[in-house]
Amino acid sequence: MKRLLALFVVVLTFSGCREKSTEFEPAEILPELPADGVDTDFVGLSLEDAEALVEKRGLSYRIVAKGGKLFPATTDYRADRLSFSFEKNLITKVTRG
C-alpha cells in the first residue's frame, strides 16, 4: 500500500513538470463596431426591420425591455450581441454586449 501511495505521489509530481505548449488558438474575429461606438441606427426601427439589419451585419440580438417591462438577461459581454429596449413596438435603446 505504501508503494502504491509513493508511486501515486511521484506520478502527480512529474505530471506537472511536462513541457508547456506555447501554441495559442487564433482569436475570434469579432464584428466591427460602428465608428461612433454606438449602434444608434437601430433606434426607431421596428423589430422586423432591426432583425434584417442585425442579420445583414452578422450580429445577434435580445430583447431586454418592452413597454416598460424588463426581461432577464445575462451579464456576460458579447461584442456580437445587441440588447434592444422597446416602447410602442419601436426600439428606443440599444446596447452592445
User: Would you list the domain boundaries of the chain?
Assistant: 33-97
- Superfamily grouping for domain 33-97: Trypsin Inhibitor V, subunit A (3.30.10.10)
Question: pLDDT, tens digit, for every residue of 13-65?
Answer: 666 665 666 666 665 665 666 655 568 889 999 999 999 999 998 899 999 99
- Side-chain-facing half-sphere of 41: CA atoms under 13 Å: 11
pLDDT over 90 (residue 90) = yes
Q: Give the residues across from 22 on adjacent strands.
A: none
Tell me the C-alpha distance between 13 and 9, whole Å: 6
Q: Where are the alpha helices (DSSP H) in 16-62?
A: 47-57
Cell numbers standing for residue 75: 451579464
Q: CA 64 to CA 82: how far, in whole Å?
A: 10
